[in-house]
Amino acid sequence: MIPVLAIDGPSGSGKGAVGMAVARRLGWHYLDSGAVYRALGLAASWAGVAYDDEARLCDLARRLDLRFVAADDGEPAVFANGRECGALLRSPEAANAASRLAALKSVREALLDRQRAARRPPGLVADGRDMGSHVFPDAFLKVFLTASAEVRAQRRYDQLKAKGFGVTLPQLIQEIRERDERDASRAVAPLKPAEGAVVLDSSALGLQDVVDRVLAMAGSRR
Ligand code: DC
């Protein structure tokens, strides 16, 4: 049985940085499931498919040719249907598109096998919203990573500014609240801790502290 460590949580909780660091330390594969939804959002926008056109989105999701190409700086280059997503993948537009189409059950189902295929030896660290609850319910460790909306918005602000996006902090706090609300209140796979998940609030913790805690929990479970 290939072990899976699931890290779920809201936007800006640090899942991505923590997940990548933990995967590197363990020598395991890493799945950024948010990037799958974001890439689909971009592919939909490039193809002129509306975010509520469930049938066409589902078709697009099934056929999506998605490739992650490893890069030296840690973040892989992502290609959707042959087109490089580049910095757009992390844009607020891609995040909003992802959040909208992620609310559609058939679209989520269409992306399921693709995510499960990332489970390869020697193990997988998977980050997202429903890794522990739906995609990998047998994960040996489920972490629900969270932080206050203000702290998460500040982290996103720093990341987006560094990438050259023109954003303001109040705008990001507002967007994060709206996205949390949409992700938490949707009928399918709502954002909430999976059964048996360890809730970890990273508001007052540095990245290394969180990574160390997750690794310690993983070590004691295995
Ligand atoms: O983690 P992120 O910010 O890259 O995710 C972008 C959006 O995708 C987020 O608003 C919700 C959705 N998402 C999801 O519904 N399920 C996942 N497993 C990952 C992301």
> pLDDT for 116-142, tens place per residue?
999 999 999 999 999 999 999 999 999
C-alpha 181: how far from chain center: 16
pTM, two decimal places: 0.92
- Computed on alpha carbons and rounded to an integer, the radius of gyration of the chain in Å comes to 16
pLDDT of residue 187: 87
pLDDT of residue 72: 75
CA of residue 129 to ligand 1 center, whole Å: 6
Residue 185 has pLDDT above 80, yes or no: yes
Is 102 touching ligand 1 by the criterion CB < 6 Å? yes
* Residue nearest ligand 1's atom 2 by CA: 34
Place domain 4-221 in its CATH homologous superfamily: P-loop containing nucleotide triphosphate hydrolases (3.40.50.300)
Q: Compute how many other C-beta atoms are within 10 angstroms of the C-beta atom of residue 217.
A: 16
pLDDT digits (tens, 9 = 90+) for 72-91: 767 899 999 999 999 999 99
Type and span of the H or E element at 184: helix 169-185
CA of residue 68 to ligand 1 center, whole Å: 17
Domain boundary assignment for the chain: 4-221
